[in-house]
Chains A and B, each alone.
Chain A
């Protein structure tokens, strides 16, 4: 556990902090893109007086950047939604942009790097064509293998970006790759979807609350970008607390829904990590329900070690975090693809490997 997870679990710990603790927190929160969440927590709990002035400045700087990116994401969503509606294609926002549009708790602080959307599997080609017709194009260079990888194996088409803007659009037709161990029936997601008035008065179709959380869990433990995973855990906790407050039966529904969609293992990992790392409290019967989906004890212990090293390193860039990242990266691929596909994929990537790309050119907010 780290000082960052301490704060996310119980913000009042900062009352006793000195320079050493603040200096450890800032890089951790920056790397995890949780500066905004920390600021919101300090404000909610009336703790901003306990913060060194320069730290508060850094948090406000991050918030200004977040607000800008949120505006960009909402604008991109409006453009995409208008284009798809005109083509008579149903679309749902996912993840960050869904939280923003629905005014869910992460909206107050969450950064986004792309706009994630879901369309029905039989409409994905038409949706991509409509967007390309309207000025979006493939973001980045793709060779024929990349094309094949996305189109035949993945649950999204290659990322799109509009010619005159820079917010990436990820067009999904499912929450998990169709070739993976987690096979979700997309029709179930659409059947449970809810309609709500959107911020601009246009009706909005959103995934059911349970499905928003389950997508978060699946994404966290199947995606290869685990570096910012603590933020997903925080989203999970905040959304869980929010939905449980409105519906006391929410936790039970969540477990049942995970079983129905076939992603209860991912729910187990996300919920137990949120419990362990940032103090999510779950009712006893729910804990028991989720625990039924834990892996065998040695695997469970190993996963716990890997997740904690990666998501809650004592400082950015520890060797243990790097090992955990590599191991979880391999694991996410193992789940995403059957062994034969995986072998082909890794062989291809290995032959094609070049110098590693430069890390992000922006300090994360």
Chain B
């Protein structure tokens, strides 16, 4: 099959993908169903190419390679993992170049244009919570990339397939048996992975920024009762700064942007185990705010 081009929107970024891998193109068409662009012409942020290296391996144990600007920043991956590699490679492109934005290592969703930020290290449950909230009707901003415009302090959505890892896959299926999941990737560097497609409603509003209103540091703990505790703002600042990809690089700009977020948001820690209860508890935050007459009308 000859190479084909696919142009995709991922929030503020426009990506050109060139590949001859039918399976990959089909998977991309599934996950980016609501954000495939027409043939253009379009100005691109990243033009990437997924290729198969030549050589004997091509037949014995096929691999795929990620290219950007004719550079190959990573070792090849097994061919069956082309889609996870593409998403991971795109994250790498963004993380190493989009320093006009403060990049938080955080899941985030929005209720209307008020954002709930879920910062966390891997294993904290932020991706699973973001996925469940998207299925519950909140607007997915991102499962792990909080993109903040420093001058305005708002978040730019970037809804993409959410990688669910290992037991999270079953947890999401139990939460919503009709969840639109893609293929299972049994062996990735993060274990067994299956992605959730963001809702059409989330993608439809992917160019509408949201303002941070709640900052919740989640911690999944098996068997624990759901517990939402107010968090001191100084602690929240420190923890959010720690969970930014480019805090050091942006220096004072990042300091002020994070200070503004923390100042404007209610800050909590959140221990949870049962996904259904956790989502209800977080949705209550938004409902309470909506019922509060002192809240500005959104």
Task: Report which A residues bind B (CB closer than 8 A).
Answer: 18-20, 22-23, 26-27, 30-31, 52, 54-55, 57-58, 60-62, 64-65, 68, 71, 315-317, 358-363, 365
Contacts and interface: CB of A to CB of B under 8 A. Distances in A.
B187 interface: no
B294 interface: no
A27 B67 CA distance: 12
Residue among B12, B13, B16, B70 with most chain A CB within 10 A? B70
Given A64-B99, A64-B100, A65-B249, A58 B45 contact: yes
Interface string B221-263: 0000000000000000000000000001111010000000000
Interface residues of B, number: 31
A60 B72 CA distance: 24
Contact of B99 (A22, A27, A65, A361): A65
Nearest to B246: A64
A62 B14 contact: no
B43 A359 contact: no
Interface in B29-46: 40-45
Interface in B51-91: 68-75
Q: Which 6 A-B pairs have the closest CB atoms?
A: A317-B70, A19-B41, A64-B99, A27-B69, A60-B100, A316-B70
Given A52-B43, A57-B12, A64-B250, A31 B70 contact: yes
Residue among B16, B44, B97, B248 with most chain A CB within 10 A? B97
A91 to B, nearest CB: 27
A54 B45 CA distance: 7
Nearest to A28: B69
A23 B70 contact: no
B43 A55 contact: yes
B43 A54 contact: yes
Contacts of B41: 18-20, 23
27 contacts: A19-B41, A20-B41, A23-B41, A23-B47, A26-B45, A27-B69, A30-B69, A30-B97, A52-B43, A54-B12, A54-B13, A54-B45, A55-B43, A57-B12, A61-B99, A61-B100, A62-B99, A64-B99, A64-B253, A65-B99, A68-B249, A315-B70, A317-B71, A360-B73, A362-B96, A363-B69, A363-B97
SS class of chain B's interface: helix, strand, loop or mixed? loop
Given A20-B41, A30-B69, A31-B70, A58 B47 contact: no
Contacts of A19: 40-44
A359 B97 contact: no
Nearest to B42: A19
Contacts of A362: 96
Interface of B: 12-14, 16, 40-45, 47, 68-75, 93, 96-101, 248-251, 253
Contacts of A359: 71-73
Contacts of A55: 43
A54 B14 contact: yes
A4 to B, nearest CB: 12
A22 B68 CA distance: 16
Contacts of B75: 358
Contact of A31 (B40, B69, B96, B253): B69
Given A30-B69, A316-B70, A61 B101 contact: yes
Contacts of B249: 64-65, 68
A62 B70 contact: no
A65 B68 CA distance: 19
A68 B247 CA distance: 11
A30 B97 CA distance: 10
B69 to A, nearest CB: 4
Given A19-B42, A30-B69, A359-B71, A61 B47 contact: no
A58 B97 contact: yes
A365 B101 CA distance: 15
Contacts of A68: 99, 248-251
A149 B40 CA distance: 53
A363 B71 CA distance: 9
A328 B14 CA distance: 36
